[in-house]
Amino acid sequence: MFTGIVQALGTVTKIVNGPDSAQLTIDAPGFFSDVKLGDSIAVNGCCLTAVTNNADQFSVDVMKQTLALTNIGDLKINDLVNLEKAMLVTDRLGGHIVQGHVDALATLAQINEGADWYELIFEVPTAYLKYMQPQGSVTLNGVSLTIAKLDDQKRQLSVWLIPETLKRTNLSKLKVGQQVNLEVDVLAKYVERIMKAGDHE
């Protein structure tokens, strides 16, 4: 489990592609000093398992389905990725409950720049709009954000990024047309499941 509070920016330094998987090596000096083999790390919001590591870098194996369903498969050497270690039971829940299970890809449709903030507008697959509402939580590339506006007809959501978020995440590097990993609020999905089960009783 994660919180959507990015702890470091990592740099992709090596990609080894196999027939139905890939192994990525990511550098982030000092970040991995307490990471053990088998630990979970959220990479752009995607929960992955450390298979090799030292204090400054780690490697992860990425299966075919993950490569197809997330933007991990589009990463290139020197790309920046958002990193978060799995939450400890003693940690503060600074963002919201994030599983690291990417639901879909959202596409950046528009960037509006203010003096100290960015508004990013994303196009979202229709099937996931029902899990969202203004002032609710959403995870984009592993970043816990508040939905500022939601337009069901245009299939768009809007988020505002403050300077701290721009500095500490890779969302500030996005360009129109790029895709981010989207995870909707897991509580909304559980509510839907419970309501559907109730219909059959």
Contact by Cβ (8 Å): 32, 72: no
| pLDDT of 194 | 79
Strand 57-63 to 118-123 pairing: unpaired
Contact by Cβ (8 Å): 118, 111: yes
Does 201 have pLDDT greater than 60? no
Does 77 have pLDDT greater than 80? yes
Does 65 have pLDDT greater than 60? yes
| pLDDT of 152 | 95
pLDDT bracket for residue 91 (50, 70, 90): confident
Taken in order of first residue, the domains within the chain and their CATH numbers are 8-85 (2.40.30.20), 104-188+192-196 (2.40.30.20)
Average pLDDT, the chain: 92
Does 107 have pLDDT greater than 70? yes
Average pLDDT (13-22) is 93
Does 74 have pLDDT greater than 70? yes
Does 138 have pLDDT greater than 60? yes
- Token look-up 């984009």 returns 140
